[in-house]
Amino acid sequence: MFFLEYRDPLFSVILFFGIIFIITSSSYWWGRYKRSEDNKRLDKFLKQFRTLPSKKDLNQHIKKGELPDESWLLLAHSYFENGDYEQSIKIYNEMLSFGDRTSKTELMILLGKTYFRAGFLERSKEIFLEILKNKPRTPQALHYLLLVYENIQDYKQALAVLEPLDELGEDVSKDMDYLKAIELLNNINILTDEKVEKLLEIYNKSHQLTYLIFQYIFRVKPEIAWKNLDNSKAYLLSDIFWSLSEKDLDLDIISKNGYLMELYSARGDISLVKDSSVFEFNILINLNAKANVTLGFEYLCEKCQFTQPFPFHRCINCHSIDTQIVEFSLVKDYKKDIGEEYSSFQ
């Protein structure tokens, strides 16, 4: 009773759906087989990277040209970004030994940058000097050579690097003032009064490097700092003002500057305002010193948005100068003796 002749229309329907089932089933199992094979190949490939290749293996891989130079550069950059500078340096050095395929200058710049980031400043300097010996008009090499000299505190050579950069059309005015300022600050043979005078000359000429210059002057000569500060830039020095001792405050200047009135009302030194547009100041003013809470500070680079917990004058990420912005947070004040009169703040 279940037998169907091939001429029966129902037979065609069953045959049609049978073919669909066979094709679908075949596609499904073929897909599973392919995924399994792909996973096996991927596992085999990844096994090569579970342990770092030796120098000999790396040499052979690069020499054979099994991967294009772009792939090796990408791998080296990946090591660089993850802080494995040793492997990054190995790859660049091996690529330089077969440098016919890739620009040798570009590889040397990458190698020099890696040595610089790893802290091998002398090796980095040698590489950039070698680049400039053959190609003196290489701005990137000049910029990194400037950073190397700055980090080893050879300010005379750093200032000398600015001359070719100026000839190449680079704006070096801020770098010039910055290097002169840090050279002054690190010179132990110059008296404090002379340092202050020369730093103020730099500031009055350019009206830049506010934090760098006034951080020092507020520490050694706060009365001179108050007299020479551009009050419109007070917000740049928020953490410095917050840490000033009460005896070093100039209440006449503070009472004429809205931002400083809010800051020192928040700190509890004065009571000239009842609220503030700055959220953290406003909270502290309303707490009225009834909680063990104070301001915490973070430092943001305005150019690259890199954040770090300590003040900086040149960003360690993008190397720009005078781009620091102070950001606030409310933190527990561990300096206070917590008693019954204080509320807990955690």
Q: Please spell the DSSP secondary structure of 16-67, one letter per residue.
A: HHHHHHHHHHHHHHHHHHHHHHHHHHHHHHHGGGSSPPPHHHHHHHHHHT-S
Residue 345, pLDDT score: 41
Q: Which amino acid is it at 38?
A: D
C-beta atoms surrounding 330 within 10 Å? 16
Closest by Cα among 130, 158, 155 to 146:
158
CA distance 63 to 48: 17
Instruction: Quote the DSSP letter at residue 292.
Output: S
CA distance 322 to 11: 84
Element (H, E) at 293: strand 293-301
The CA-based angle 58-63-64, given to 5 degrees, is 105
Residue 115, pLDDT score: 95
Cα–Cα distances (Å) from 256 to 42, 225, 271, 304, in that order, read 69, 16, 14, 34
CA distance 69 to 339: 66
CA distance 212 to 56: 49
Cα–Cα distances (Å) from 267 to 137, 249, 285, in that order, read 53, 12, 8
Cβ neighbours of residue 127 closer than 8 Å, sequence gap 6 or more: 108, 111, 112, 115
Residue 31, pLDDT score: 81
CA distance 116 to 144: 8
Q: Which amino acid is it at 171?
A: D
Is the Cβ–Cβ distance between 308 and 316 less than 8 Å? yes
Residue 67, pLDDT score: 61
From first to last of its 346 residues, the chain has per-residue pLDDT tens of 444 455 666 667 777 778 888 888 888 888 888 787 766 765 665 555 445 555 555 555 555 555 677 877 888 888 898 888 998 998 888 888 775 545 788 999 999 999 999 999 999 999 999 999 989 999 999 999 999 999 999 999 999 999 999 999 999 999 999 999 999 999 999 999 999 999 999 999 989 999 999 999 999 999 999 999 898 899 999 999 999 999 999 999 999 999 999 999 999 999 889 999 999 999 999 987 677 889 999 999 999 999 999 999 999 999 999 999 999 999 988 776 544 444 444 4
